[in-house]
Amino acid sequence: MFQQEEYDVIVVGAGHAGCEAAAAAANMGSKVLLVTMNMNTIAQMSCNPAMGGVAKGQIVREVDALGGQSGIITDKTMIQFRMLNRSKGPAMWSPRAQSDRMRFAEEWRMTLEQTLNVDFWQEAVTGIVVENDTVVGVKTQLGIEFRGKSVVLTNGTFLNGLIHIGEKQFGGGRAAESRSTGITEQLKELGFEAGRMKTGTPPRVDGRSLDYSKMEEQSGDAEPSKFSYLDTPTLTKQRPCYITYTNPEVHEILKEGFEKSPMFQGRIKGLGPRYCPSVEDKINRFADKDRHQIFVEPEGWSTVEVYVNGFSSSLPEDVQYRALRKIAGFENAKMFRPGYAIEYDFFPPTQLHLTLETKRIQNLYFAGQINGTTGYEEAACQGLMAGINAHNKVHGKEPFILKRSEAYIGVLIDDLVNKGTDEPYRMFTSRAEHRILLRQDNADLRLTPLGHSLGLASDERMERVREKEKQTAEVVKLLKNFAIEPAEINGWLEEMGSATIHERTRAVNLLRRPNVELPDLALVLPGLTLALGQYRPDALEQAVILVKYEAYLEKEHQQAARVQELENFTIKGRLDYKAMPALSHEAREKLLKIQPETLGQASRISGVSPADVSVLMVYLGR
C-alpha cells in the first residue's frame, strides 16, 4: 500500500461529476481520495463556459439544495446571469450563468483543498482492483495500488478518447490532454457492456480581433439572481454576450470541407448529441436555412478568449478559419484553436442500480459522461448522488434515491437506469412529467430537508428553509385575508384592461388573474406594501406561485401520489419473470436484465408495456 490508509471512497476523475462526488462523500464524513490525471484541470469546463439553462438550471439549484457545491461555485465565478423563460410559467424559469472558465476551475480546486477528508493524487488510473465481485481499490499508471471500500468512476470523455479535426485524428481526452486506456478493456473483461459516443466543440477566438459593432448585444438580467440558496454574492456588474449569424458564403466554404469531414465520411462511429449539432450538420440537415445564430461568449472577466457558441465543428482547421472570417464581426478574427470532435467510450447505464452502483461489481459507482450523459449539470448531479450513496453504503446506511416527482435528478437517474440511452442524454423540462412541482424556486423546499437528514446540507441551509416555509405560509394567509375595496383598485384595473370588481375582494383573487402581479398590487395598495414589508423576497415569490397556481399544483400532487402507489410496491426478488408466459418476450428480457426495484420502475422500462405491467400486477395478486 502506498502513502495512505484505506479510503472510504476513491473518486477517479476531477471533472464536474468527480468534484461533486468527492466533496459530498467527504462532507458526510468519508475519507476520500480524489485521483485525477491533471490537477491543473480540476473542474475544467471542456466546452462552453456556462452553467444552467433550461432544465439544467433547475438541476444546479437541486444540487445546491442538497448541499452540493456547483451552485456556490457558479455564483462566485459568473460574469453574466439570465433567468431564461421568464415570460412563461414558473415551471419553465431556468437560471443560466455565463462563467469565468478559469475562475470556475480555480474556485472548485480551492473548495476541494479546503474540504477536510479529501486527499489528492495526480495520475492516470489504469484499472480497478476487484476481490469477490467487490471493488477494493484502483491501480495507477505508475503501478501504485490505492485501497478503498468504494470507487466512483467519473472519466468523462477520456476513455479511449479519439479527437477528430478534418482528416486528422489522434488520441486525447480533451484538447491537449491524454486519453485514458485500460479501464474500458478491464471492465469489458469483467462482463460490462461498453459503447461509443461523440461530442464536439467550437473554435475559440481572440476577442480583440472581433468587431462587436456588427453584432447584437445580449446583456444579462437587470436584476441578476443566482444559483445558491445560501448567502452567496450577486453580480453588481456583468459582461455582455453578442449575437451574430452565419450566411450563405460561410455555408459554401464549410461545404468545401465536407469531403474531409470525419462525420460525413464515416470515420466517427459514435452518436453525437442531436440537439447540439455541429455547424456542418446544421447546414447539411437544414439546407433551406440561409443563416444560423452564433452566440459570441466571453470566457471570463479578464481573458480575451471568446467562445463561438453555435459553430461546433470537426472540419479541417483551415476550412473553419476561412468560414469563420465570413461571419459579420469576424472578418479579422484570429483563432486560438480550432473546433474538434471527440469520440469516447461510455457504459450503457442500464448496468446500474438507482444508486449509480454497478450491478456487476459491488461498491463500484459510475457518474457523469461515462453513463452516456452530456453536460456539466447532468454530470455534477450524478457525482453528488454517487458520492452520497458510496458514503452511505460503506457506512451501512440506507441508499439515497430521489423520486421522479421529487427532483430532476430523480428523473435523470430513473431514465438512465430504466431506459438507457443511445445518444448523449441531456435534461429537458419535457422529460419530467411532474415539472410543475420541480421548479427552480422550490428546490430548497423539496430537497434541503433530505440533504440535511443525510448530514450533507448544513444547519444554516435547513434554518433558511424553515424560515422560508414559515414566511411563505404567513404571506399566503395574509393574501387570503387581505380585503380590497372596489374604490381602491378599480381605477388601476381599468388601466390594466382587467375586469373591475363590484364588491370587497381578497387580494388572492386578484392575484390569480394572469396579468396581475404582486409588485403591481403592492404599488396601488399602500396597506399591502406595509403588511408585506417584513417578508423575504423568496417567501413572497413562493407565496405568489402557490396562490396563482394552486389548482394546477393540487392536481399534480394528486397525480404524483397516485403514481407513488406503484413506486411503493416493491417487487425486487419477488417475481420469476421466466415463469410468466403472458409477458412479451422483450419485457421479460428487459425485466430480467434491469431487475426493477418497484412496480413503478418496471412500468418505465422501455419495452415493458402497460399490458406487461398488468401481467405483473396479476402475479402480485393486485
Under rule CB under 6 A, which residues in 39-58 are in contact with ligand FAD? 41, 46-47
Query: Is residue 312 helix, strand or coil?
Result: coil
Confirm or deny that 383 is annotated as ligand binding: no
Give the range of 317-325, 368-376, 387-395, 542-550 binding ligand FAD by CB under 6 A.
368-376
- How many residues of this chain interact with ligand FAD, rule: CB under 6 A? 37
- Helix, strand, coil shares of the chain, percent, nearest 5, are 40, 20, 40
| Residue in the block written with cell 411563505 | 472
Q: Minimum distance between the CB of residue 141 and ligand FAD, rounded to whole angstroms?
A: 8
Q: Three cell numbers at 347? A: 457504459
Q: Three cell numbers at 562? A: 397516485
Give the rounded distance of the alpha carbon of 396 from its chain centre. Answer: 28
Tell me if 16 contacts ligand FAD by CB under 6 A. Answer: yes
Q: Minimum distance between the CB of residue 494 and ligand FAD, rounded to whole angstroms?
A: 48
Q: Three cell numbers at 187? A: 471492465
Q: Closer to ligand FAD at the Cβ: 298 or 596?
A: 298
Under rule CB under 6 A, which residues in 96-135 are in contact with ligand FAD? 124-125
Instruction: For residue 609, give Cα distances in angstroms to 353, 412, 579, 603, 604.
Output: 21, 21, 18, 7, 9
Confirm or deny that 279 is annotated as ligand binding: yes
* Of positions 262, 338, 349, 375, contacts ligand FAD by CB under 6 A: 375
Under rule CB under 6 A, which residues in 402-461 are in contact with ligand FAD? 426
Give the range of 69-77, 154-162, 549-557, 614-622 binding ligand FAD by CB under 6 A.
154-162
Confirm or deny that 284 is annotated as ligand binding: yes
Q: How far apart are CA 457 and CA 451, in angstroms?
A: 5
**Per-residue H/E/C for 364-380:** EEECCHHHCECCHHHHH
Confirm or deny that 612 is annotated as ligand binding: no
Q: Closer to ligand FAD at the Cβ: 73 or 124?
A: 124
Q: Closer to ligand FAD at the Cβ: 165 or 333?
A: 165
Confirm or deny that 151 is annotated as ligand binding: no
The count of other CB atoms within 10 Å of the CB of residue 602 is 26
Confirm or deny that 276 is annotated as ligand binding: yes
Tell me if 74 contacts ligand FAD by CB under 6 A. Answer: no
Q: Closer to ligand FAD at the Cβ: 14 or 324?
A: 14
Q: What angle do CA 549, 553, 555 make, to 5 degrees?
A: 125
Query: Is residue 305 helix, strand or coil?
Result: strand
* Of positions 130, 364, 379, 386, contacts ligand FAD by CB under 6 A: 379
* Of positions 10, 35, 457, 599, contacts ligand FAD by CB under 6 A: 35
Q: Minimum distance between the CB of residue 615 and ligand FAD, rounded to whole angstroms?
A: 38
Confirm or deny that 369 is annotated as ligand binding: yes
Q: Minimum distance between the CB of residue 447 and ligand FAD, rounded to whole angstroms?
A: 21
Q: Three cell numbers at 199? A: 461530442
Query: Is residue 212 helix, strand or coil?
Result: helix
Instruction: For residue 412, give Cα distances in angstroms to 39, 42, 311, 401.
Output: 29, 24, 28, 11
Tell me if 18 contacts ligand FAD by CB under 6 A. Answer: yes
Q: How far apart are CA 543 and CA 549, in angstroms?
A: 10
Give the range of 31-39, 236-244, 246-254, 297-305 binding ligand FAD by CB under 6 A.
31-39
Confirm or deny that 310 is annotated as ligand binding: no
Confirm or deny that 619 is annotated as ligand binding: no
Bridge-based pairing of strands 216-218 and 162-165 is: unpaired
Instruction: For residue 366, give Cα distances in angstroms to 303, 357, 387, 407, 591.
Output: 35, 7, 10, 20, 21
Q: How far apart are CA 402 and CA 482, in angstroms?
A: 38
Bridge-based pairing of strands 134-140 and 125-131 is: antiparallel
Give the range of 33-41, 347-355, 391-399, 499-507 binding ligand FAD by CB under 6 A.
33-41
Give the range of 34-42, 216-224, 398-406, 528-536 binding ligand FAD by CB under 6 A.
34-42
| Widest pairwise Cα distance in the chain | 83
Q: Minimum distance between the CB of residue 53 and ligand FAD, rounded to whole angstroms?
A: 9
Give the range of 243-251, 375-383, 403-411, 444-452 binding ligand FAD by CB under 6 A.
375-383
User: For residues 75 and 232, is the Cβ–Cβ distance under 8 A?
Assistant: yes
Q: Closer to ligand FAD at the Cβ: 41 or 490?
A: 41
* Of positions 30, 36, 358, 601, contacts ligand FAD by CB under 6 A: 36
Q: How far apart are CA 131 and CA 135, in angstroms?
A: 6
| Residue in the block written with cell 469531403 | 259
| Residue in the block written with cell 399490458 | 611
Mark 265-294 with x for binding to ligand FAD (rule: CB under 6 A) and - for no binding: -----------x------------------
User: For residues 150 and 10, is the Cβ–Cβ distance under 8 A?
Assistant: yes
Annotated binding site: 13-18, 125, 180, 272-286, 369
Which residues fall in the annotated binding site for FAD?
A: 13-18, 125, 180, 369
Binding residues for NAD(+): 272-286
Q: Which residues bind ligand FAD (CB under 6 A)?
A: 12-18, 35-38, 41, 46-47, 124-125, 154-158, 173-174, 180, 183, 199-201, 276, 342, 368-369, 374-376, 379, 426
